[in-house]
Structure 1
Amino acid sequence: MKAGAVKNRDDLLVLAAGRLPQGRYGGSLAGLGAVALGRAAVEELLRDGALPRPGSALWGMARSHTQGMNPARTLALEAGLPPETTAFTVNMACGSSLQALIVACQRLRDGAEGAILAGGSEAMSDTPHLVPGLRWGFRIGHRQAPDVMHQDGLLCPVTGLLMGETVERLAAKRGIARTEADAWAAESHRRAAAADFRAEHLPHPQLDRDECIREGVREESLAALPPVFAPGGQITAGNASALADGAACLLVARREQAGDARPLARILGWVEAGVDPLDMGEAPVPAVRRLLADHGLRVADIDLWELNEAFSAQLLVCQRQLTLPPERLNVTGGGVALGHPIGASGARIAVTLIHQLRTRGGGLGVATLGIGGGLGLAVLFEVV
């Protein structure tokens, strides 16, 4: 259903939205760091002289070790924004950059004087290992070197389980079969391989395509992969999201602040939700239900859905409970094929959603994701 909108000076508008092509783990973007990836995205996004300059930058980054204090401020200044541009960094795991967008909208609604840059970046290839206790010295014996990505990203400190282990439990609880997860993973690669991302891609000198996509992925080949988290389990390297490096960002403003810029989309609302951390993967379900109820909408009213594919099984759990039409869901593939650079993924799905709605002539779209610890976010967009 295509929804018309009455223009209002207080409308929350997306004036620009783009992302870097996403690099595979250890691939073309490895070694650059999350700040440099973010800076590259911001420089390209703001190259259009018709855009208002942002008064602040809100930036998601879930693994900021080695990236310096408050990476948002560093990348904003390195991207050429003036010193009076305020900035702060958001860490909400997978939801970091979508939460940055939500906070930007809240600030605009509260009267922020200038447009706001919201986005996120993650360099998963560059996450370091730590040596706890080294500060005070070692005398004798072996020591561990914890992997930041594992300890501070993939492991839930509340449940003591890896994200994949919680999804194994959730898939069993909700009746998702391995064959179904593999089928969705193959479809994600098929859709991504067939997609045209030129409208949303921001150029980068080291990468001109999404590096994680594999053409010709078949369910039969995925079925041969061993489970990762449990004997007889269903999550494999083929039906889980690819580790990736990337950055995505949006420039948002009230209509009165847009100047000569032509808006890409309107942000109509957002919702946060929480569930038991053991059920982390289905947190988008209550978030979406509340979002739709808040706006008097039904699932059938939404033209496109972007639901982050942390795991194929997790996406299917949400899709089934919400009865999302598969043909309207992740129409250009998702995290399984494109990669899931944690701090950038929320902004990435928003960017993709906006450009795909525009390609299809407009309408309503929802971007949603589940977050480690049992949290969910959902944002409603309109393109006219």
Structure 2
Amino acid sequence: MRNPGDLLILAAGRLPQGRYGGSLAGLGAVPLGLSAVEGLLSRPTLPRPGSLLWGMARSHTQGMNPARTIALKAGLPHDTPAFTVNMACGSSLQALILAAQRLRDGAEAPILAGGSEAMSDTPHLIPGLRWGFRMGHRELPDVMHHDGLRCPVTGLLMGETIERLATKRGIARPEADAWAAESHRRAASADFQAELLPHANLAHDESIRPEITAESLARLSPVFDPQGQVTAGNASALSDGAAAILVARQDQAEGATPLARILGWSEAGVDPLDIGEAPVPAVQRLLAAHRLMVADIDLWELNEAFSAQLLVCQRQLGLPEDRLNVAGGGVALGHPIGATGARIVATLIHQLKARGGGLGVATLGIGGGLGLAVLIETAP
């Protein structure tokens, strides 16, 4: 028997994810987000959202408050509030958490949460141009690096922090390559039809490479340290994508059949040098708050920003491999920063339902040393 105050996910879906410079390149994060929102809300049985919370970590050139643009272009009424969340990799998962908090605190209508990212379209900047250049060379900072992949506190690129973490936690290169190959294998054999939303340019995830093996990955050169282990093959693929989730209380469902319940969430912080293991304390807090053990969770979605990072978290938490990222992860599917949090929740829900329902946890690490985790439950 459901409680009228239960927090329900009524719909969850995502676009097929495009590879960097691929089929979704040039479209922009707002049009990608609009496609996801329109696709999700196309079902006439769903109640209309009263607000939109949208994650986007690289909003340069996408106009002020992209969430409001998406809401209005999707045909939502002018009185629909909307705002954009930038929490780097956690943007759309935080948007979902904020939606759940607002509903718990009495929001009058369902809330649409999600996120989009067009990593192929991130621009370069020309600092100082406003006041003119008189003489000398100037730099053109890459937004991808400057406002995304480099930590302003440590000065290190995310991959450089993972090299340090892998050494600290004893993860070897062959282990990371093996997980990366397994991610592609799982993604290639997974059925994503229940979670995919239509897009005219792309019908499938574009970065999956079923032919990849640990042996072929072993031939790639490290990117950040000649003696290190992080390569283009065992790190998440740069990609373009969008995902959306409609959340409501039970008393707002208007007869729609829910996909899942949101049972709780947590966040945590660690030393920015240890960003890769920030999901560990977030998950520990979440489980403790609900008096659960790792063995009680039927499926886990832990974002694969890097294979080595996932392995660090998996071993510290004791997550069983056969319940972890069962349909592959960011290494194979891609990691469109602002969309990933909602993407892993959508995947988790549909993979759980395909396996008969149960409890699931979606979690990820965030640049600057932050972690988020969300606990959901689905019925068969």
The TM tier, using the shorter chain, reads over 0.9
SS in 2 for 1:305: strand
State the SS of the aligned residue for 1:54: coil
Inter-partner Cα distance in structure 2 for 1:260 and 1:211:
36
Which residue of structure 1 lines up, in the alignment, with residue 63 of structure 2? 68
* Residue from 341, 351, 358 that aligns with 1:363: 358
Cα displacement (A) at 1:260: 1.8
Q: How much has 1:22 moved relative to structure 2?
A: 0.1
C-alpha separation in 1, matches of 2:80 and 2:176 = 45
Q: Distance in 2 between matches of 1:216 and 1:25?
A: 19
Q: Distance in 2 between matches of 1:50 and 1:183?
A: 44
Question: Is 1:129 matched up with 2:127?
Answer: no
Out of 91, 102, 106, which is 2:101 matched to? 106
Q: Which runs of 5+ in 2 are unaligned?
A: none
Q: How far 1:140 moved relative to its partner?
A: 1.0
Match of 1:86 in 2: 81
Q: In the alignment, what sits opposite 1:189?
A: 184
Counterpart residue number, 2:112: 117
Show the counterpart of 2:279.
284
Residue 102 of structure 1, CA deviation: 0.2
| Whole-angstrom CA distance in 1 between matches of 2:374 and 2:203 | 28
Match of 1:350 in 2: 345
Match status 1:332 vs 2:327: yes
The count of corresponding residues between Structure 1 and Structure 2 is: 379
Rounded to whole Å, the distance in 1 between the matches of 2:62 and 2:120 is 13
Alignment match, 1:52: 47
AA paired with 2:169? R
- Report the counterpart of residue 304 of structure 2 in structure 1: 309
Q: Tell me which residue corresponds to 1:31.
A: 26
Per-residue deviation, residues 293-315 of structure 1 (Å, max 9, x unmatched): 00010000000000000000000
Query: Post-superposition shift, 1:80?
Result: 1.0
AA aligned to 1:143 is R
Report the identity percentage.
80
Query: For residues 2-60 of structure 1, what are the alpha-carbon distances to aligned partners after superposition, in whole Å with 9 as ceiling and x for unaligned?
Result: xxxx4100000000000000000000000000000000000010011111100000000
* 1:204 and 2:199 are equivalent in the alignment: yes
1: distance between equivalents of 2:129 and 2:123? 15
Do residues 8 (structure 1) and 3 (structure 2) align? yes
1:150 paired residue number: 145
Corresponding residue to 1:220 among 211, 215, 219: 215
Within 2, Cα distance between the matches of 1:275 and 1:237? 26
Distance 2:182 2:102 in 1: 39
* 1:212 shift after superposition: 0.4
Distance 1:72 1:291 in 2: 29
> 2:269 aligned to 271, 274, 279, which one?
274
Report SS of the residue matched to 1:81: coil
Aligned match of 1:166 in 161, 168, 173?
161
Secondary structure at the aligned position of 2:50 is classed as strand
1:183-228 C-alpha deviation (Å, 9 max, x unpaired):
0000000000001100000000000000000011111100000000
Letter in structure 1 aligned against 2:17: Q
TM-score of the aligned structures, taking structure 1 as reference length: 0.98
SS in structure 2 at match of 1:89: strand
TM-score (norm 2): 0.99
Which position in structure 1 is the counterpart of 2:136? Answer: 141
Structure-to-structure mapping, 1:289-304, within 5 angstroms: 289-304=284-299
For 1:296, give the aligned amino acid: R
Does residue 236 of structure 2 align to residue 241 of structure 1? yes
Which runs of no fewer than 5 residues in structure 1 stay unpaired? 1-5
For 1:249-260, what aligned pairs fall within 5 Å after superposition? 249-260=244-255
AA aligned to 1:281 is G
- Give the counterpart letter for 2:100 in structure 1: C
Q: 1:231: Cα distance to partner?
A: 1.3
